[in-house]
Amino acid sequence: MKIYVAEDYQSMSRKAANIVSAQVILNPASVLGLATGSTPVGMYKQLIDWYNKGDLDFDQVKSVNLDEYVGLAPDHPQSYRYFMQTNFFDHINIDPAATNVPQGLAADPAAECARYNQVIRGLGGIDIQVLGMGHNGHIGFNEPGEAFELETHVVDLQESTIAANARFFEKKEDVPSRAITMGIKSIMQARQILVVVSGEDKAAIVKTAFTGPVTPLVPASILQMHPNVVLVGDRAALSKL
């Protein structure tokens, strides 16, 4: 695993964007695995900036997102599709038809998971998967205890995750209780993984995940077994490593 220590959130975002843009420059038809959440927002901003300067072209890029809430429409302000449109896709020249996020409104979420697995396979797999990490070590919506061998599947969200995400909704009851997520197996099949972490509140879980035992109780700990992981964090998040 390679580790880059950045001074602060901004330089962490810039370093992460450097790595994604290197991928896109070297392979203009890259398949990007993307994440939502607060951590990668600065990375997306930086990529948009370089696109606007003419340094990046997303014309042939394809994307697959990690996860989506079950029951939220694509234009719901808290849906992950909406997040991706407003934070990234609407500002670059990626082909809208080449962007994939699980469909939260699918009538049959299990069938949607099977379809999504086929989408990832059809694209030939993921070249670089961007991941944030939850305070409990979740990656995507793979919560502690989740089997390592799953591909895209439906999960019941844990109380702690619902509570952490409640800040984005009017009230806690509005947070969906289920989500569709790529599984650990899908994530581990990506050819490269870029983990972004920021802030002192992530320091303890970063240490546990990357220096502790590999266990389903800390989903991100499986990343220790991936041959091509880059961890980019600010000094605060990496302070306990």
Q: Pick the closer one to ligand F6R by CB: 13 or 23.
A: 13
Q: Which of 18, 49, 136, 226 is catalytic?
A: 136
The answer to whether residues 237 and 203 touch, using CB atoms and an 8 Å cutoff, is: yes
| Non-local CB neighbours of 179 within 8 Å, separated by 6+ positions | 67, 68, 69, 70, 141, 154, 155, 157
Query: Catalytic residue at 108?
Result: no
Query: Catalytic residue at 55?
Result: no
Stretch that binds ligand F6R, among 15-23, 96-104, 139-147, 150-158 (CB under 6 A): 139-147
**Which 116-135 residues touch ligand F6R, going by CB under 6 A?**
132-134
Q: What DSSP assignment string belongs to the chain?
A: -EEEEESSHHHHHHHHHHHHHHHHHH-TT-EEEE--SSTTHHHHHHHHHHHHTTS---TT-EEEESEEETT--TTSTTSHHHHHHHHTGGGS---GGGEE---TT-SSHHHHHHHHHHHHHHTTS-SEEEE---TT--BTTB-TT--TT--SEEEEPPHHHHHHHGGGSSSGGGS-SEEEE--HHHHHTSSEEEEEE-SGGGHHHHHHHHHS---TTSGGGGGGG-SSEEEEEETTTTTT-
Q: Pick the closer one to ligand F6R by CB: 32 or 139.
A: 139
CB of 133 to ligand F6R, least distance (A): 6
| Non-local CB neighbours of 165 within 8 Å, separated by 6+ positions | 157, 175
Give the x/- contact pattern for ligand F6R in 53-82, rule: CB under 6 A: -------------xx---------------
Q: Pick the closer one to ligand F6R by CB: 12 or 56.
A: 12
Q: Which of 68, 112, 127, 143 is catalytic?
A: 143
Query: Catalytic residue at 76?
Result: no
Query: Catalytic residue at 153?
Result: no
Give the x/- contact pattern for ligand F6R in 26-45, rule: CB under 6 A: ---------xxxxx------
CB of 104 to ligand F6R, least distance (A): 13
Question: According to the binding rule CB under 6 A, does residue 140 interact with ligand F6R?
Answer: yes
Q: Pick the closer one to ligand F6R by CB: 60 or 76.
A: 76
Q: Which of 65, 67, 112, 165 is catalytic?
A: 67
Q: Pick the closer one to ligand F6R by CB: 132 or 183.
A: 132
Count of residues of this chain found to bind ligand F6R when the rule CB under 6 A is applied: 14
Active site residues: 67, 136, 138, 143
| Residues found near ligand F6R in the complex (CB under 6 A) | 35-39, 66-67, 132-134, 138-141
